[in-house]
Amino acid sequence: MIKFENVTKKLGRKTVLDGVSFEVPKGETFVVVGLSGAGKSVTLKHMVQLLVPDSGTVRIGDDVISSASGPELARIRGRFGVLFQGAALLQWLTVFENVALPLREHTKMSEEEIEKTVLEKLSLLNMQEAVDKYPSDLSGGMQKRVGLARAIVMNPEIILYDEPTSGLDPVTSRLIDGLIENLRNELGITSVVVTHDLHSALAIGTRIMMIDGGRIVENATPEEFIESKNETVQRFLESQYITRRGEWEKGMKNHA
pLDDT confidence band for 127 (50 / 70 / 90): confident
In degrees, rounded to 5, the angle at the alpha carbon of residue 33 between the alpha carbons of residues 27 and 36 is 145
Res. 241 pLDDT band, cuts 50 70 90 = low
Contact call for residues 51 and 38 (beta carbons, < 8 A): no
Q: Stretch 112-135: mean pLDDT, rounded?
A: 89
* Order of strands across the sheet that contains 14-24: 14-24, 2-11, 55-60, 63-64
What average pLDDT does the chain have? 87
Q: Where are the domains of the chain?
A: 1-79+159-166+176-251, 87-155
Q: pTM score, two decimals?
A: 0.83
pLDDT in tens, 65-108: 999 999 999 999 999 988 877 667 888 999 999 999 989 988 88
CA distance linking residue 33 with residue 197, whole number of Å: 8
Evaluate if residue 39 carries a pLDDT over 60.
yes
- Do 158 and 189 touch, CB atoms closer than 8 A? yes
Checking if the pLDDT of 163 tops 50, the result is: yes
Give which of 44, 34, 51 is closest to 2, Cα–Cα: 44
Band the pLDDT of 152: cuts 50, 70, 90. confident
Instruction: Answer yes or no: is pLDDT of 44 > 80.
Output: yes
User: What value does the mean pLDDT take over residues 163-171?
Assistant: 80
Q: Are 148 and 121 in contact (CB under 8 A)?
A: no
- Per residue in 198-215, pLDDT tens? 888 988 999 999 999 899
Architecture of the domain spanning 1-79+159-166+176-251: 3-Layer(aba) Sandwich (3.40)
pLDDT of residue 50 exceeding 60: yes
Report how far apart, in Å, the C-alpha atoms of 47 and of each of 29, 51, 72, 180 are.
Answer: 15, 8, 14, 19
Name the nearest CA neighbour of 123 among 152, 94, 166.
Answer: 152
Residue from 81, 90, 152 nearest 120 by CA? 152
pLDDT above 70 for 255: no
